[in-house]
Amino acid sequence: MGGFEELGKKLDKLAEQVRITAQGGIEKTAEEAKQWGKHLDELGEKIKKTAQEGLDKFTVGTKELGQIAKLRSGINQKRKEKEEKIKKMGQLAYKLNLGEKVDDEEFKKITKEIADLEKDISDKEKEIENLRAHRGK
């Protein structure tokens, strides 16, 4: 039976070595897992930051495009108003040509309104240029 005892002791010694080696591997694996967890957290933060920056730029760009669209709409409206004023002025000129009496004040008023509309259009076009220049930065 001495052979079995000796075999049992060898098996116990081998089992102890396996346990020690396994415990060391577990500790090493746990530390590596912890390090990977840190790396993944850092990567997640970088992705989050980059995505937020992209979203911020997209939001600003979309806002500026909305402002430009609104300004363009205003320009179109002012141009229509200007065309109506020019038509009205043309009617007055036609009456003058026919020898009808035309109120000079009305003529001056329409001329001023047209000039004001042209200034409004020019101002809105400059705003659009400024928004585009800002967006390019």
**pLDDT value at 1 more than 60:** no
Structural domain for 123, as ranges:
2-135
pTM, whole model, 2 decimals?
Answer: 0.58
Q: Are 92 and 106 in contact (CB under 8 A)?
A: yes
The domain total for the chain is 1
Write out pLDDT tens, residues 86-120.
999 999 889 888 888 888 899 899 999 999 999 99
Positive or negative: CA dihedral 36, 41, 44, 50: negative
Burial class (CB in 10 A: 0-12, 13-18, 19+), 124: buried
Which two structure tokens, joined as six digits, stand for 58?
A: 């997209």
Q: Are 89 and 117 in contact (CB under 8 A)?
A: no
**pLDDT band, residue 4 (cuts 50/70/90):** low
**Maximum separation of any 2 CA atoms in the chain, in Å:** 143
